[in-house]
Structures are given as C-alpha cells and as structure tokens.
Amino acid sequence: MPSVTPFKGIRPDPALADRIAALPYDVYNRNEALEEVRREPLSFLAIDRAETMLAADIDTYDDRVYQKARELLDSQIKDGHFIKDETPCFYIYELTMDGRSQTGIVGCSSIDDYLAGTIRKHENTREEKEIDRIRHVDTTNTHTGPIFLAYRSKAEINEIVDLCKKDAPLYDFVSPDGIGHRAWKAASPAVTEALSSLFKELPCTYIADGHHRCASAVKVGLKRREEKKSYTGQEEFNRFLSVLFPDDQLKILPYNRVVKDLNSHTDEEFLQAVHDAGFSICDMEKNAISPKEKGTFGMYLHGSWYLLTAKKALLSEDPIKGLDVSILQDHLLAPILGIGDPRTDKRIDFVGGIRGLQELEKRASSDMEIAFSMYPTSMQELFQVADAGLLMPPKSTWFEPKLRSGLFLHSLE
C-alpha cells in the first residue's frame, strides 16, 4: 500500500519554465555543467551543480558549493522566478520523445515505504554519491530532483490522468534536445483523494531511475527525525519528490559496453574463445547491429560487426542470471576478457543506448578496442528482479527521456 500524496509545489514561472528546466545533475561532468550554465544562466543546473558558479579551484564537494546552491535557490524564489502553490496538489507531467509520450504523476512518496520495501529497488548505491545529494538536499532544505518511480499500470489512475490532461497545461515547451514537456495541475480535493486512494491499492512501486537520489532523500529524512525527537511523521521531511509512471508507457534503452583490449588474445583466439563459451557468431561485416531479440548481442571488433547468439545452455530462468547483461558478463566479459567487477574495472565503460551505434564504433576505434550492443532489459525483468529482492548487475537499464530538474520542487518544511 504505497503512500503517494499531494504537496505544495514550488515551480517555475511559466514564462521561464523552458529556461529553468534542466537535465539531471549527474548526466554532466564539471566542464559540461559549466558550459551548460554559461549557455543558459537560468538553468536549474546552476543550483544542482553550484560549483559552476564558483572559482574553478573550489572542490565540487566543498561546503561553499552547497551554501551557494541554497543562496541561488532562495534568490530565485525571492525574485519571482518560482511560484509557491498554496494548496497541496498533484501535477501531471508528460514527456514526448520521437513521437512517443509517457505521462507521470508528480507527488510525494514516503520514506517509510522505502525502508519497508514497499518502494522496491533493483540497484545498489555508492555512499560517496549519496553524500553529495544528502548535503545538497539538507542544505537547500528542498528536494530538487524528482525520483523516477514506476508502477504496474492501473486503468482507474490512467482515466484520472487523461481527464486532467484535458485542462490547459501549466507548461508546454520543447527543450533543446527535442523532448516535449507538458504539465498540468491536479488540485481538486476529489482528484487528489482519488489518486492517493488508488495508489494505496497497489502492492508497491519501483525505482526506475534515481536510486542514489532516493537513498539520499531517505537519509535526510532519517537525519531530521533524529534531530527532532518528537516528530509526528507528518512533517515534509518524511516524504520525497517523485514522478510515478505506469509501466506500459515506459521504454528502457540498451546500456552498451566497450572494453579496452582483448585481454592479450589475438582476434582469432578471441573469436574461438567466444564460440567455445557457447555463442554462435555471424560475421555481418560493416552492417551495424542493434539486437532484435533477447539473447543476442552485437559485437564490433576492428572495423567489423558480428552477431552473437547465446546458445540454450547459457540461458536461464533465474531473474538475474537470465538477464542479457548477466549472460554477457558471466560467459564472455569475465572469463574471456578478464572483466571481473564491472563496477570497478577501468578496462570497461558503458554507453547509453541514446548515443547510438556510431558512438560504439567511435569508442572501439579510439580509446577502446571492442564494443557490444545490447538488447534492452524489459520492465518486466526489472519488476521480477525487484520483487525477488535482488539487485541487477551495474548498468542494466537506461531510461529515456530523462526527467527535468527544476520544474517541481518540494520543500522539507
């Protein structure tokens, strides 16, 4: 019974929304973030990555960075760049990419649901990445980046969302990367109560993207509870900002792999080892391969593409071992190329499917030697892993389009 509740949103002046809305903080390195803020000074990235507003010799995690984020946010609210809604609302948020739309409900989820496993995860988090967002949320006193949650589609929720979308939108713009963004307010008590009740009928929700932000939001809430011993559970710090999407509207893109070298193998030795490991190999020459079915892989090596197909002996009904990313890792990357732990091995890198096959060819012809294109993990596979209380291998899913930061903010007070 997930608790999904409306909140008093802080959101951009509609005249500025297209300039303020920004991609998530973690899709940029420091130089890229700086260039983006220079391109658009009102970008919310200046708040999410406030080191862009300070001298280059100040460390990204310096205390002054988080204080600067608070100053910038307070200043923009004071200057009227943001509006504070006075009544608790849900918001409806539609993203359109390449003619395909997905519509989510912006609301607050409970930190207790996360702790109890009612919000299910499928990835581990790293403490150093959590600490950065913990400090950012705690210092700004605001959840600035929504957590991308999914739920098994429910017709009654979809019907309410469709009705809300008949109203005039709060926002309607296309971002520089070509993604369409539209949003509506759902403020009537009848709608907010109905949506909250319908979410309680679900067994759980799932983190699709934003595991570190979610873990950080929960830890800030626990920190505030410790500081306020007499908390009631109704304080805003007991909730965090989320956008919840029905699973049948979501699309996972492949998360491809590139590897530095052939682990001392010649081309002939390597291809023979792949065959012996249980993969059939078809030489496709220059024809780039985007796998069309589960259990198949594209491989780019020294100017040629190969189609690899895992033989039956490599397949598994196990929710983890049966994933394509596991099949490749367990039967090729680890035993043949020597990639033991893909989380830490410097010889492997990961390329989101949004970058296309040309990026794989480029990487394999420059800083890497071999590339693998993947068939995407499915939402049902994600659900199966999470429902089993298991964790996916690293870099198993790539969601597009990305939620924008700065369109909806949630105050912890």
Q: Give the model confidence (pLDDT) of 328-339 as tens digits.
A: 999 999 999 999
pLDDT at 155: 98
pLDDT tens digits, one per residue of 68-123: 999 999 999 999 999 999 999 999 999 999 999 999 999 999 999 999 999 999 98
What pLDDT is attached to residue 128? 83
In this prediction, residue 115 carries a pLDDT of 97
- From residue 130, give the alpha-carbon distance in Å to each of 11, 70, 135, 220: 25, 18, 9, 10
Tell whether the model's pLDDT for residue 206 goes beyond 90: yes
Q: What is the pLDDT of residue 105?
A: 98
390-407 confidence digits (pLDDT tens): 999 989 999 999 999 999
Question: What mean pLDDT value characterizes the chain?
Answer: 96
E strands along 221-324, which residues? 239-246, 252-253, 255-259, 279-285, 296-301, 304-310
| pLDDT reading at 140 higher than 90 | yes
Looking at residue 75, its pLDDT comes to: 97
Q: Is the pLDDT at 153 greater than 90, yes or no? A: yes
pLDDT for residue 278 is more than 90: yes
171: pLDDT strictly greater than 90: yes
Residue with tokens 């249980």: 278
- Dig out the tokens for 14 from the structure: 């509609």
Q: What is the pLDDT of residues 60-70, one digit of tens each?
A: 999 999 999 99
Are 403 and 148 in contact by the 8 Å Cβ rule? The answer is yes
Task: Report percent pLDDT > 70 for the chain.
Answer: 100
For residue 127, pLDDT over 90 is answered with: no
Select the more confidently predicted residue: 127 or 280: 280
Q: How confident is the model at residue 245 (pLDDT cuts 50, 70, 90)?
A: very high
Quick one: tokens of 19?
Answer: 């300039």
Q: pLDDT band at 43, cuts 50/70/90? A: very high
Q: Where residue 124 falls among pLDDT bands split at 50, 70, 90?
A: confident
Query: Residue 343's pLDDT band (boundaries 50, 70, 90)?
Result: confident
> If you ran DSSP here, which 8-state letter would residue 165 be given?
T
How do residues 30-39 score in pLDDT, each as one tens digit?
Answer: 999 999 999 9
Q: In Å, what is the CA distance from 298 to each residue of 264, 265, 360, 372?
A: 21, 19, 10, 5
**How big is the chain by its Cα radius of gyration, in Å?**
23
Are the C-beta atoms of residues 348 and 260 closer than 8 Å to each other?
Answer: yes
C-alpha 79/C-alpha 341 separation (Å) is 49
CB 143 within 8 A of CB 236: no
